[in-house]
Amino acid sequence: MQPSTIVGSLVGATLVMAWRIRETQTPVTAKKLLVPPLAMSTGFCMFLAPPMRVPWTWAALAFAAGALLFSYPLIRTSRIVRMGDAILMQRSRAFLFIIAALFAIRLALRSYVERYVSMTQTAALFFVLAFGMLLPWRLMMFASYRALRGPAARA
């Protein structure tokens, strides 16, 4: 793996961590929880380009790995709490360590996967893995948010 790839990945991970810290300081809304997976889903348009295409089984395995393995620690360390009239994300010290660990695992897996498939297919698979990680995590947070809002807010 090239040094520029590692530096770019480190910058991305740092930005995600900074964003997550900032996110805990503002009230949570349904929009803030649901827009990221909706916006990210537009990335599936990459599969219109033939070099990005991967077999369906590979994509299903990448999504399952994201949803079943990588989203679990995020779900376990993310809490939505009511503080007065506001609903906020509760900061967890473990969350930043988990993000860093997931980053390291992803970087190691990427080096391994790139030996067997093209760089564009590797990118496509890791996008599907990331989407598989993000979707259940955000849906679980949305369910917690709705529970805190109470029955009157659902009508």
- pLDDT tens digits, one per residue of 27-64: 999 999 999 999 999 999 999 999 999 999 999 999 99
Tell me the per-residue pLDDT of 67-82, one tens digit each, with 9 for 90 and over. 999 899 889 888 899 9
Q: What is the DSSP letter of 120?
A: H
| Alpha carbon distances (Å) from 3 to 9, 15, 103 | 10, 18, 16
Report yes or no: 105 and 97 within 8 Å, Cβ to Cβ: no
Question: Is the pTM here over 0.85, yes or no?
Answer: no
Q: Where are the domains of the chain?
A: 3-149
